[in-house]
A and B are shown apart, each in its own frame.
Chain A
Amino acid sequence: MRNFSISSSLLKIVFSKLALVAAFGTVALTSLTGCGNTGASYEPDTFRINLQAEPPSLDWQTSTDSTSFDVVSNIMTGLTMYNNDMKCEPGCAESWEILDGGKHYVFHLRKNALWTDGKPVTAHDFEYAWKRLLDPSTAASYAFFLYDIENAFEFNSGKVKDPNLIGAKALDDWTFSVKLKRPAAYFLYLTAFCSTCPLRKDIVDKFGDRWTEPQNIVTNGPFSVSLWKHEYKIELTSNPKFFEGEPRLKRIKMFMIPEQATAFGLFENNQLDYVDNRSFPTADVESLRSSPMYRNLPLLRCSYLGFNVKKKPFDDKRVRKAISMAVDRTLFPKILRRGEAPAFTWIPPALEGYSEISKSEFNPEAARKLLAQAGYPNGKGFPLTKILYPQREDAKLVVESVQEQIKKNLNVKLQLEVNEWKVYLDILHRDPPQMFRQTWGADYPDPETFMNVFTTHNGNNYTQWSNAHYDDLIDRAAAEQDQKKRAAMYAEGDQMLCQDEVPIVPLYWATQNTMVKPWVKGIGFNAMDLQFFRKVYIEKP
């Protein structure tokens, strides 16, 4: 069969035809579609960003993830709103009174806050929303945000059946009263959070589970949802009825591009105006740092190592302290390369209660002495110890560095145990191992959100560490209305965590890396990583 061959002249013809087709195709594609967008830059009055993933829900009462909140933050307004300094500004409430030593809040609603269908936002919309959030049948994960309110926990856990006993009531259309079980100094922050935004009973009743679809949803924020192509794109358009006035930006296109390199390619081709960590391959950050479009800011999210203090050898606080003192936190930013800040305390420097005295120190010599006192001179006889971490590149780099440092500084060999994310969480929930790498991000910009984690009954306290004095201190600090006293109480708690008892080793503060096209103006950033676009506008370059 070898004589079956195509003559070389025929091949030449085929290839020359192919070359022609390719050349023609290239010209045609470029001229007809402009799809490569060689000349494209900005889209007038349109802001294009990458959400990376589908928001699991636009029901602000059942969503719990940052992707959904990125959308909700721009379509909804609560009683108050955050500014980029993370202070609460008037939102639907134009003023409020704090009575009864911080146990009673009365919010006075503005009369020009309207829903997108033109109806006014009333106190009844808040009462309905908060009761729905707490209703066990809603099964809202963030219902616990309102547990400080009278009978809220009891209703949510089924101990109280009558929703009218909950201490949140509309006194009339424009007055909303909230009674707490005890003063909570951070309570105002919760009124700016997406989960506590108002909701229209008539809309939920009419459309049932479909009320969040663009054709049904009614909102009250600066933008409204005009298109939701699931798994692909959400489009928001400016709301002319917004009480601050219609935003200058007419449209926000929020794409769901999962692959970072693809999203960054689109940014480079001017098809996205803004990218952040979700669209940034780590390797690129170093090279982009000098760009005028690049910005980096610290976030209220800490990575830490936790010890299970019920398991040997970490039932001895000298061992925990020795590990903490043998870890050089300044190495992590060099390994992770996203501009992270080393964490020496549990309370971040941006919050009240942060104190230099709480700082853990890197001192391998002292660490070795402590370890010897605990019965492990030069690491001799140290039990087999595993560090559990989830399958993520940053977690892997961090625990590998810790493993290497502990070997070098204490002559102790730690074993690494990686698990798929949900398996990792399952192990943490059921039987936390001796050591684990975990993160915590603030729910609101207050030290309470950090300090409460390590109280005895907090479900996120995987360390099993329990200290009555600490519990009492954090409980009192939450209610303390004097800011100075409160800060001092948190500083004392932080010192217990980082220096005295050491159930955890804070490692580093995460940062947000962003690139913004020069035609985007008015964009702000905040440490909670909440994306507010009501003041953004596009200016012709």
Chain B
Amino acid sequence: MLALLIKRMLTAIPVLLVVATLTFFLMRLVPGGPFDADKNLPPAIVANLNAKYQLDKPVAQQYVTYLSRVVRGDLGISYKYLNRTVRDILGEAMPVSIQLGFTALVLAVLIGVPLGTIAAVNRGSWIDVTAMFLSTAGISVPGFVIGAFLIFIFGVWLKVLPVALWETPWHMVLPSLTLAFSPAAYLARLTRASVLEVLEKDWVRTARSKGLSRWATVMKHTLRNALVPVVTVLGPLTAILITGSFVVEYLYAIPGMGRFFVTAVTNRDYDLIMGTTLVFAALLIVTNAIVDVAYQILDPRMKVEG
């Protein structure tokens, strides 16, 4: 297991290098720069800005400088939020996104897995149809619609939960529900398909024929095997959820990191674009490594060669 983790971490280095290189050159190809503004600045001032941020150097030189800074742990500075480093910005925003993302992840698993299991166990019944209708709705309805709906019902109409902002634990309820909705729906569908497949296996029939109750069969002999595909998606899902959601943060005015995936690009905030991309890529690698370890725990046959 340790060998596996070491291997994963070593392969992460070239992966991150490719991600950094592609992102660096792609963002330079997009027209417009960080200092293009509504009001055009005199050339002398543009020259001062470019010199200050070293944008007057050739792109290849900027790339080498950037990489040499990144390996020293310096993610650069923001061109939009003056006097703030990318590490400051992400360091303040990430804990918020992690808090919200984990809550949503737990909610998604707690809702999605039981819902999918119940639907599979009751295949073809009205329970199954209802559960799948709900999960189809959850996948198809965009987050901002669900968010607006929840705000209206619980915030504006019933006035039992805060409309927005990030002050008390109650302020987390609506955003985490909104964020959990779609992954819960997806997990429900995935769990249902997976449980159905396992329920057809011979050992399940054997267990039933030996007189084990149906729920005992599901809990003891089915779920553990059925959860392998669910765990597979939990890796990227975790990375996505804990790096924040633009829509949910925008809608509920939450100071998380999800917004930077969009605003850094629209502002051409080069170092911030690089920072968010690299952090996301690194998290994806870490969560996938954890998934590989989880495979081995769930199913010892699935030894990944070191």
Question: What is the interface of chain A, defined by CB distance below 8 A to chain B?
Answer: 1-6, 11, 26, 29-30, 33, 35-38, 54, 56-57, 59, 62-64, 136-141, 143-144, 147, 153, 156-158, 209-212, 229-232, 255-259, 261-263, 265-266, 268-269, 271, 420-423, 425-429, 439, 441, 459-460
Contact = CB atoms under 8 A, between A and B. Distances in A.
Given A36-B161, A137-B52, A144 B42 contact: yes
Given A54-B81, A139-B49, A157-B44, 6 more contacts: A1-B199, A140-B48, A210-B83, A256-B253, A259-B251, A439-B38
Given A35-B162, A231-B93, A423 B122 contact: no
A209 B45 contact: no
B236 interface: no
B31 A262 contact: no
Contacts of A26: 158, 160
In the A-B complex, list the 6 residue pairs whose CB atoms are closest, starting with the nearest: A422-B32, A36-B159, A157-B44, A231-B255, A232-B255, A57-B82
21 contacts: A1-B120, A4-B122, A4-B123, A5-B122, A6-B122, A29-B161, A36-B159, A136-B48, A139-B49, A139-B51, A143-B48, A229-B255, A230-B93, A231-B93, A259-B253, A262-B163, A262-B252, A269-B156, A422-B30, A426-B32, A428-B40
Contact of B82 (A62, A143, A156, A268): A62
B168 interface: yes
Contacts of B47: 157
B115 interface: no
Contacts of A138: 48
Given A35-B170, A143-B45, A427-B31, A265 B156 contact: yes
Contacts of B252: 262
A423 B32 contact: yes
A64 B122 contact: no
B43 interface: yes
Contacts of B250: 258-259
B294 interface: no
Nearest to A159: B44
Contacts of A259: 164, 250-251, 253
A425 B36 contact: yes
Contacts of B165: 255, 257, 266, 271
Contacts of A6: 118, 121-122, 127
A459 B266 contact: no
B35 interface: yes
Contacts of A57: 81-83
A423 B51 contact: no
B299 interface: no
Residue from A2, A230, A231, A420 with most neighbouring chain B CB atoms (10 Å): A231
B118 A262 contact: no
